[in-house]
Amino acid sequence: MKKVSVILPTYNERENIKLLIPRIFQVFEKNNISGNVIIVDDNSPDGTAEKAIELQKNYPLILIKRPKKMGIGSAYITGFEKALENDSDVIFEMDADLSHNPENIVGFLKKIEAGFDVVIGSRRIEGGKIIGWNWYRKLVSKSANFIGEWVAGINGIKDLTSGYRAYRKDALRSIDLKKIKSSGYAFQLEILSRLLKRNLKIGLVPIVFCDRYSGKSKLSKMDVMNFFLIALRIRCGCL
């Protein structure tokens, strides 16, 4: 039985994690998965950390509290390091806002068992779709994928910006996480670029992405700008 860790970066996600955490562990129990959840909270003013502490009474939940908002990319790195320290076999990225369905965890693990080193949940292959986005969010997402393909030069992967992923522990150990420069959403592009340089086997599973249940999106114009700059650095070989 593989040991699984799910990393959840949080900032003002109190209302979402109280619904999401039980759903994740229901999937674990139903499918005989040995797993835990690692929440990396950036000092949420809404009491997300306090809700996580409450949930720890019933679930194997690890809470890492950081002093301030430091970016989703650095939150994932912090979570990855903790999961690797605990010798988890498969490590997931998942949004904490209920946009990612925990039921898909089983499909990811089947791909891992089939020999893939990294599995990406794609909204842009057959069976995948996006629900609840307005035209602007769709435009930003399509533009980011275009930039990832044509500027960074990462081809053949539909949905480069997806934040629902699973990694074998050896895949993450094959790269130096401390060398990753991106603290924001460009992290998804940069880590994928570094993994591809290791010639790792990357697979896709279709997911249905539903816009967040509660709260506001953290994506900013600065995140979009940084994504483009990271793509340029990947293209010129600076990363």
> What is the residue extent of each domain of the chain?
3-235
**Is residue 218 scored above 60 in pLDDT?**
no
Q: Quick check: pTM over 0.85?
A: yes
What are the backbone angles phi and psi of residue 91, rounded to the nearest 5°? Answer: -125, 125
What are the tokens at 67? 């002093």
* Class of the domain covering 3-235: alpha beta
Percentage above 70 pLDDT, the chain: 96
Cα(130)–Cα(122) distance, rounded to whole angstroms? Answer: 10
Residue among 81, 55, 101, 115 at smallest CA distance from 207:
101
pLDDT of residue 9: 96
Banded pLDDT at 210 (limits 50, 70, 90) = confident
pLDDT of residue 85: 96
What are the backbone angles phi and psi of residue 205, rounded to the nearest 5°? Answer: -130, 140
**Is residue 233 scored above 60 in pLDDT?**
yes
Cα(143)–Cα(147) distance, rounded to whole angstroms? Answer: 6
**3-state SS, residue 24:** helix
Residue among 187, 185, 180, 189 at smallest CA distance from 222:
185
Banded pLDDT at 216 (limits 50, 70, 90) = low
According to DSSP, residue 151 is labeled T
